[in-house]
Chain A
Amino acid sequence: NAGVTQTPKFQVLKTGQSMTLQCAQDMNHEYMSWYRQDPGMGLRLIHYSVGAGITDQGEVPNGYNVSRSTTEDFPLRLLSAAPSQTSVYFCASRQSNTEAFFGQGTRLTVV
């Protein structure tokens, strides 16, 4: 059972570089979300999607872009990485108001 798959698991970027964090789910879930988690803090919502072609901003969207061209995939793009974006990133998917399933996370360091 794949569930939610995030890649890569670890990444080091230099300031100003761009990259895409990948997230794929095989459960045919409508809803997908990206979160970041910083030490001592909970998960903060970056962007979310309620279906293919529909995305919206969460609590901390600045510096990130998303798109949802298929039900399965919800990539998160960092346009110009900054040290403040050093964090652990989690992708989640769910069906309507049911339980969310999370990927294993991507640990990103921006130097």
Chain B
Amino acid sequence: RKEVEQDPGPFNVPEGATVAFNCTYSNSASQSFFWYRQDCRKEPKLLMSVYSSGNEDGRFTAQLNRASQYISLLIRDSKLSDSATYLCVVKYDMRFGAGTRLTVKP
């Protein structure tokens, strides 16, 4: 089993839709969790950290479920500019999931 697994995608949604991605991890001792965004083979950039109690940043909500060992990212009111690949990161040595590609269409 891979250490980090993500929804395979791709997700194609209309503008204004709500979309959610999940990411499961295998190491129950993992302490650090992040969501990154990557545009068109450019370098990944931090979207948001994931805190134990869940956290929100505008249209984006991140949650952690330690019991089931997954993190999630919810995007509300999708914009065309949200089209990108979303990567989850868990664990000390920053291992990435394979990424979920999102395309938001007019």
Contacts and interface: CB of A to CB of B under 8 A. Distances in A.
Check if A and B associate.
yes
Interface of A: 31, 33, 35, 37, 41-45, 48, 56, 58-59, 88, 90, 92, 94, 97, 99-100, 102-105
Given A42-B99, A99-B49, A94 B43 contact: no
A99 B98 contact: no
A98 to B, nearest CB: 8
Nearest to B2: A59
Contact of A33 (B31, B41, B42, B94): B94
B87 interface: yes
Given A88-B41, A97-B31, A99-B46, A45 B95 contact: yes
| Interface secondary structure of A, over-half rule | strand
Given A42-B87, A42-B98, A43-B87, A90 B93 contact: no
B43 A103 contact: yes
Given A97-B31, A97-B32, A90 B92 contact: no
A68 to B, nearest CB: 14
A105 B94 contact: no
A97 B6 CA distance: 21
Contacts of A94: 94
Given A31-B94, A48-B94, A90-B44, 14 more contacts: A33-B94, A42-B6, A42-B87, A42-B97, A42-B99, A43-B96, A94-B94, A97-B31, A97-B32, A97-B92, A100-B34, A100-B89, A104-B43, A105-B43
